[in-house]
Each structure stands twice: as C-alpha cells, then as structure tokens.
C-alpha cells in the first residue's frame, strides 16, 4: 500500500512505531555506502591512515552529539523537522529547512546512485570485460535509482521493512570486508605522495574531520521523517541515545572506506578500484555494499525531501515530489559522472551542507530550550493548508529573529571556511584552519538569543509553563483564517516536555 499521509500530523491510531523501529532506520541510513565513500575522502586529501581514522572518529562523534537532540521533534509534533522548524522560523520561513533538506538529499542521493551503479558496472566488467563502458554505467545508475524510487514512493512502511534486511546485512558484510582486506591494508600508510590537499597537516585534518561531521549532521532535517510515527509518550532521552548510537555504528563503514582507500589508486573510481583488488569470491559482497548500501542512503534522503517538497508546492503530491527531486538528482549524477568531476561536486555540496546546517541546528536547539519544548502541531500546518495566522505566523509567516540569525551565520560560514573548493577571506585569521561550523554555530546561537531578548516573542508561543531565560510580550494570537481547517482532533496542541521527559 502506498503511503498517502504527507507532512500533516500522523493520526494517533497510526502512531504505532517503536524506538527500535526508529533505530533500525537510523542505523540503516548511517551504514549506507555514502558513509564508505566519505571515509575515503580523508585519504584522498593526503592524510595518513591514522590521521584519517582520528579525524573520522572525532568528526562522527561530535556530529552525532549535535544531531541527536533533533530526533525528539518528530515524536512530539508528528510531522517532519522542516515543518517543525516553522515554530522558530515562521510557517513560511521554514523554507530554510526545506532548502537544507533539498541540498542534502541531492548530495546523498547522487552519491548513492553513483556508488551503487559503479559497483554493479564494475562487477559485470570484471566478469565480462567486453561489456564495460559508459552504456553499462548509465544502465547501472538507472537501475539503482529505480530501486530507490520504488521504496520511497511506497512510503514509510517500505523504508522500515527494507531496513529490517539492510541494516544487519550491511553491518555483517562490512565487518567481513575488513577481515578480508586486513592483510592487504598498509597500517603504516603515511599519506598521498602529492602532500596535503590544504597545504598543512592541521588544516587538512580539520577539513577531513568536518567532512566526517557532515555525515551525521546531514540527517538533521530527516530524523522527524522516521520519528513522527512514534507515540508522544516516547522518551526523548531514549531517542537522543539511539540516534547517537546509530552513528557510533557508522564508524564501521567509515573505517572500511578509509582503510581500503589505501589500496585503490583513484578515489574518484573507488568502487571499480576496490573490485579490481578484491578476491573474486568477495566481489558479490562489494556489489551488495555498493547497491544495497546505496539504496539505503538514497532512500533516507529522497523520502524526506519528497515528503517536504509536496508541502511547499501545494499542487504536487508526496509521490510527485519524490519523482521530481529524484529526477533532478539523476541529472546531477550523469553530469557529474560524464561531464564534471563528481568528487569535486560532492565536496562542494558537503561544504554547503555544513555551512547551512550549523546555524539552523543552533536556532532549533535554542528555540527548543527557551520554549521548554512546547509546540502546537495544528498551527505548524498553516502554510500547508494555505491559511494565514496561528501562533507561528509572526510577520507574514516569517520570524525575522531566526531568519536574521541564520543569514548572519551562513555569511560567517562562507567567510571563515577553508575547504578544497571554498576559502573564505577571513580564514587566514584562523591560520588556515576551517572553524566555520563551530564559529557559525556559536555566533548564530548568540545572535539568535540576543534577538529573543531585545525583540521578545509573544507569550503564547511558549505555552502554559512560560518561557525559559527570555522575556515575552503580551498580546493575542492571530486567528487562523482561510484555507482548509483541521479537525478538532488534529488541532490538539502537542507539547514536548523536554529531552529526558514524557509529554
């Protein structure tokens, strides 16, 4: 059965998922082949194997700490995180979250199709060399994309069923893969002969660490897609822990990618290179890593973006939105593979993800804290229903406090970044080290909090418990007008008690 629910709140009788279902999807997404590919990038940037492993470990764990609290929103508002962000950015201003999810989806769907298709084409080429060529690669990309489309179109339940198989299978295959290549791995690998990509060991290590951080942070807009089917009584603390543990598990594909990248001559052709050096009996397993892991990563990103895109363009359904975003992403895959440098394209998008994510996450977390986790699900749906008003209407549907802080944060991120493709003019102040994420996260948080103090929000957005650490103003909430009104059941306010509490 194809899922018909879009981003409207999940009805209480369908809030039947359990925390272990959420964990299964989160682990399946984290074990995706995109994670393996990201693990190869520190080696491609010139780091030694142990430098790469430390950068990956630090980046993944720090990124998971920033990401984990964002898992709470979906189980309380029963919609996705981009829609929930309308509580802080305004019901129209939530386009920021949608834009972020769009960039992330295109990036990870592109990598998923690329790697899945390359693994299939590489295996066929090893068996039948005469079949190799661009046509075989193109057909392999199309098959991988089609499989991802089918799962996403059917909806949440198909994503859950797929991960019953995907998550444990990928974990076992990757673990066997590490054992298989163990004797070939040069643990004393000292780095690429051409030297460090960013000139120094420190700058390159930090850039690699940020690439690893981008992996968990990329799931920020999508966690609500998986947790919205959980009942409101689900422990927030448990969801935070499960999200963090899912990305601890992701260290396995990260390490697999880094270790095996020392055996492959060209990171841009990683899967084909790995198939070439692998024992023949393990080639089917590499195809499974590439294809099944690619499907897992592609589904995680494309499902959520199709879901949210349909809420912004009211004439487009969830299924149509999924096909549209997927089709655009496929064009990017083919252009990147046959016209441009796909590795450079992916690096560009990863840099953009970090710069856009840092201020968005900072605002979401500060907003959650100052409002004591209070949200009204009906008022979050105003824009979707083509209405006006409600407690999150602010000024014409935009909250200037969050939007101003986000814009300032993004500009600072661009000015201080130092990646293989972006070097901000202020970066020399930090000795060439890329501090953009942490600097932007902190500054955005300070600016947003200052705006909340200088320009207080209305008391009604904070609920009956009142605000935490910020002043408020007193005036009536604008009524919801126009469009189609939700039922009284849908209009029931949804409150989040806190990270560790029950609602």
Does residue 494 fall inside a structural domain? Answer: no
- 88 closest CA partner among 497, 364, 377: 364
Distances (CA, A) of 123 to 114, 132, 289: 14, 10, 12
Does residue 277 fall inside a structural domain? Answer: yes
Helix boundaries (H) for 128-193: 134-154, 156-181
Q: To 5 degrees, how large is the angle CA 350–CA 197–CA 332?
A: 35
Q: Which two tokens stand for residue 169?
A: 């299978």
Is the backbone of residue 10 left (phi > 0), alpha (psi -120 to 50) or beta?
beta
Q: What is the pTM of this model?
A: 0.87
Q: Tell me the angle at which helices 251-261 and 156-181 cross, rounded to the nearest 10 degrees.
A: 40
- 410 closest CA partner among 397, 422, 392: 422
DSSP labels, 479-503? PPBSS-PPPTTTTS-EE---TTS--
pLDDT at 503: 33
pLDDT at 344: 63
Q: Which two tokens stand for residue 202?
A: 């420190």
End-to-end CA distance of the chain: 31
At 182-191, the pLDDT tens digits run 999 989 999 8
In terms of residue numbers, what domain contains 293? 18-481
pLDDT tens across the length of the chain (503 residues): 667 676 788 999 999 999 999 999 899 889 988 899 899 999 988 999 999 999 999 999 999 999 999 999 999 899 989 899 999 999 999 999 988 888 887 788 888 888 888 888 888 888 888 777 788 888 888 888 888 888 877 777 777 777 778 788 889 999 999 999 999 998 999 988 788 988 899 999 998 999 899 999 989 988 998 899 999 999 999 999 999 999 999 999 999 999 999 998 776 678 888 998 999 999 989 888 888 888 888 887 787 677 667 666 766 777 777 778 878 877 877 776 666 666 666 666 777 788 889 999 999 999 999 999 999 999 999 988 889 999 999 999 999 999 999 999 999 999 998 876 678 999 998 888 889 999 999 999 999 999 999 999 999 999 999 999 999 999 899 999 986 544 443 444 444 444 333 33
Does residue 144 fall inside a structural domain? Answer: yes
Q: Which two tokens stand for residue 226?
A: 């998986």
Q: Would you tell me how many other CB atoms lie within 10 Å of the CB of residue 14?
A: 13
Residue with the two structure tokens 């990201």: 38
- 111 closest CA partner among 290, 372, 323: 290
Dist CA 96 CA 260 (whole Å): 37
Does residue 107 fall inside a structural domain? Answer: yes
| CATH code of residue 159 | 1.10.4160.10
At 35-74, the pLDDT tens digits run 998 999 999 889 999 999 999 999 999 999 999 999 999 9
pLDDT at 222: 86
Does residue 373 fall inside a structural domain? Answer: yes
How many structural domains compose the chain?
1
Does residue 460 fall inside a structural domain? Answer: yes
Does residue 28 fall inside a structural domain? Answer: yes
Dist CA 481 CA 277 (whole Å): 64
pLDDT at 328: 81
Does residue 203 fall inside a structural domain? Answer: yes
């Amino acid at each position: 059965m194809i899922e018909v629910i879009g981003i409207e709140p999940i009805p209480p009788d369908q809030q039947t998922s359990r925390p272990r279902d959420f964990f299964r999807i989160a682990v399946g997404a984290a074990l995706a082949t995109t994670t393996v590919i990201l693990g190869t990038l520190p080696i491609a940037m010139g780091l030694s194997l142990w430098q790469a492993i430390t950068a990956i470990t630090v980046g993944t764990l720090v990124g998971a700490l920033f990401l984990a609290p964002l898992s709470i929103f979906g189980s309380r508002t029963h919609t996705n995180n981009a829609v929930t962000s309308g509580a802080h950015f305004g019901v129209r201003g939530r386009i920021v979250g949608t834009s972020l999810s769009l960039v992330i989806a295109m990036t990870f769907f592109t990598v998923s199709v690329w790697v899945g298709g390359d693994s299939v084409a590489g295996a066929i080429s090893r068996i039948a060399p005469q079949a190799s060529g661009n046509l075989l690669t193109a057909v392999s990309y199309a098959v991988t994309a089609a499989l991802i489309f089918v799962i996403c179109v059917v909806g949440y339940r198909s994503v859950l069923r797929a991960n019953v198989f995907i998550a444990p299978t990928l974990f076992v295959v990757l673990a066997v893969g590490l054992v298989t290549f163990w004797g070939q791995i040069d643990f004393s690998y000292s780095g690429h002969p051409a030297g460090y990509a960013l000139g120094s060991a420190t700058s390159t290590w930090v850039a690699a660490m940020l690439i690893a951080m981008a992996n968990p942070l990329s799931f920020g807009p999508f966690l609500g897609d998986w947790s919205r089917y959980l009942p409101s009584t689900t422990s927030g603390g448990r969801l935070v822990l499960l999200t963090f543990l899912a990305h601890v598990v992701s260290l396995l594909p990260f390490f697999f990618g880094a270790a095996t990248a020392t055996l492959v001559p060209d990171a841009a052709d990683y899967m084909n290179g790995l198939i070439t050096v692998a024992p023949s009996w393990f080639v089917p397993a590499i195809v499974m890593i590439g294809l099944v892991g690619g499907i897992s990563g592609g589904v995680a990103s494309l499902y959520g973006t199709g879901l949210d895109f349909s809420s912004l363009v009211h004439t487009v359904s969830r299924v149509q939105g999924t096909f549209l975003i997927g089709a655009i992403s496929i064009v990017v895959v083919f252009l990147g593979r046959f016209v441009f440098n796909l590795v450079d394209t992916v690096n560009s998008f990863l840099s953009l993800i970090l710069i856009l994510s840092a201020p968005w996450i900072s605002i979401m977390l500060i907003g959650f804290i100052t409002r004591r986790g209070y949200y009204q699900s009906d008022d979050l749906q105003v824009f979707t229903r083509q209405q006006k008003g409600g407690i999150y209407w602010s000024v014409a549907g935009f909250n200037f406090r969050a939007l101003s802080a986000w814009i300032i944060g993004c500009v600072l991120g661009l000015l201080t970044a130092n990646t293989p493709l972006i070097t901000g003019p202020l970066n020399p102040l930090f000795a060439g080290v890329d501090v953009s994420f942490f600097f932007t996260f902190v500054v955005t948080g300070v600016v947003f909090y200052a705006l909340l103090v200088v320009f207080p929000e209305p008391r009604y957005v904070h609920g009956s418990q009142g605000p935490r650490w910020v002043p408020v103003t007193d005036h009536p909430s604008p009524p919801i007008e126009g469009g189609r009104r939700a039922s009284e059941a849908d209009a029931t306010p949804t409150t989040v008690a806190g990270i560790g509490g029950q609602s």
